[in-house]
Amino acid sequence: MVLSLPLLFFSGAQHLNINLQMNYWPSLSCNLKECQEPLFEYISSMSISGSKTAKVNYETKGWVAHQVSDLWAKTSPDAGQALWALWPMGGAWLCTHLWEHYTYTMDKDFLRDKAYPLLEGCTSFLLDWLIEGPGGYLETNPSTSPEHMFIAPDGKPASVSYSSTMDMSIIKEVFSAIVSAAKILGRKEDELVQKVLEALPRLLPTKIARDGSIMEWAQDFQDLEVHHRHVSHLFGLFPGHTITVEKTPDLCKAAGNTLYKRGIYLMPAYWIETPSRHCGAEEFRATLVVSRLLSEAFALQTGEDGPGWSTMWKAALWARLHNSERAYRMVKHLFVLVDPENEGNYEGGLYSNLFTAHPPFQIDANFGFPAAIAEMLVQSTAEDLYLLPALPRDKWANGCVKGLKARGKLTVNIYWKEGDLREVGLWSNEQNSLKRLHYRGTTVKANLSPGRVYTFNRTLKCIKKQPLPSAASC
């Protein structure tokens, strides 16, 4: 008997160029760290198959994973178009989750036994993958920017170039992570770490295009699809940390310009109507031109529309830029009721059961939503805590949030009224390295000791210190 079953969308695969990662974005900031354990086991499995892929496909050390994986921890390039199949940075992106887990939990055993060996293997591949470019910088080649294309000098659409901004941003994050981890574990003299320290200042920097946006590739190419759903070249802003309001204001301005430029995303008609058909380059370009003209005609270049996962990524990006208005508009756009019979809807919204509208259903935006909200309310580094950095004061005038997590194993409670901070409670049962609190232009140094709850008022003055209740030690 022959059993005929419908093919699952994406063939039931895991996609590593945003989708799987977004599903875990809220796990740390929203105090759900145990939910990451299956992900770490999955990464461990991929490192085994990925070692073979690195050796067979690229003759490199370490391990690698591409854009598509599956139940069997597939790591080899998939059979498909280069714009999505030829992207060996999936494993590297996942490795940033390992370091993030440590920065939130301060779990040194996890860092030593689980995270560091995986980071070592990933770093070994990346060092072998980099080449010296014409300007003396270390670059990647070949390189793609997930699922996007550009207009080549001959006027034809292309997807493969060298040193996409996302490639370089992910590599910077991984290299910075292993250097920091090595210092904590007393391994900064390791040969691998020394190679990374030599490579870091030589990595091709993020560039600003002629139009004031972040360049997506090493060359200032014209986008084939101006309003593309992915914003891969902003990885350094979120979920990465190489673009920050305080340290890189010029890049932040360019990142904002990029988000305005991306604007509405319209799914190309050929994909909606015939998803399995491979259209020619000219038809592809014509479809995108029509989409672009439609968005311009209806003045929708505001970054508000797009698949739910894209909208939630943009919400987090706007939050990192401390732009509360735009972050709120992204979040609000998710809460648009969508008719489930409208199979052609790819522009976000929710079905009545609160599943995000993107036929077939993808849960990414459902998890991206709480992560974006958390970024609007609390942002942190190892030394800094930003309170209500992107609070839409007129929309969420009164409220409170309890139990959010910040880096340094810090728990945060915030209460605000009439759009203004009223009180914040901080505690940790670990020795904390947090030094500065930030709120609307005010910065104070905070000396936090483990096992105590600290309460600060609207001017960030500590008004109360008390022992940490045993029930609050999570």
Q: Which of 109, 88, 110, 95 is nearest to 43 (CA)?
A: 95
CATH number of the domain enclosing 152: 1.50.10.10
Mean pLDDT of 171-176: 99
The predicted pLDDT at position 68 comes to 95
The predicted pLDDT at position 242 comes to 97
The predicted pLDDT at position 405 comes to 97
User: Is pLDDT at 448 greater than 80 in this prediction?
Assistant: yes
Please report whether residue 102 resides in a domain: yes
The predicted pLDDT at position 10 comes to 72
Please report whether residue 276 resides in a domain: no
The predicted pLDDT at position 407 comes to 96
Domain boundary pick from 209, 224, 243? 209
Buried b (16+ CB within 10 A) or exposed e, 421-440: bebbbbbbbeebebbebbbe
Residue that the structure tokens 């994406």 belong to: 10
Task: Round the average pLDDT of the chain to a whole number and report it.
Answer: 89
The predicted pLDDT at position 296 comes to 40
Please report whether residue 459 resides in a domain: yes
Q: Which residue has the higher pLDDT, 8 or 170?
A: 170
The predicted pLDDT at position 470 comes to 66
The predicted pLDDT at position 380 comes to 97
The predicted pLDDT at position 303 comes to 43
The predicted pLDDT at position 430 comes to 80
User: Is pLDDT at 288 greater than 80 in this prediction?
Assistant: no
The predicted pLDDT at position 432 comes to 67
Domain boundary pick from 209, 225, 258? 209
Count how many domains the chain has: 2
Mean pLDDT of 396-406: 97
The predicted pLDDT at position 251 comes to 98
Please report whether residue 295 resides in a domain: no
Domain boundary pick from 185, 209, 233? 209
The predicted pLDDT at position 254 comes to 98
Instruction: Note down the domain range covering 459.
Output: 384-472
Q: Which residue has the higher pLDDT, 1 or 120?
A: 120
Please report whether residue 123 resides in a domain: yes
The predicted pLDDT at position 274 comes to 35
Please report whether residue 353 resides in a domain: no
Looking at the chain, the whole-number percentage of residues with pLDDT higher than 70 is 86
Please report whether residue 166 resides in a domain: yes
Please report whether residue 294 resides in a domain: no
pLDDT tens sequence across 219-268: 999 999 888 999 999 999 999 999 999 999 999 999 999 999 987 444 44
User: Is pLDDT at 114 greater than 80 in this prediction?
Assistant: yes
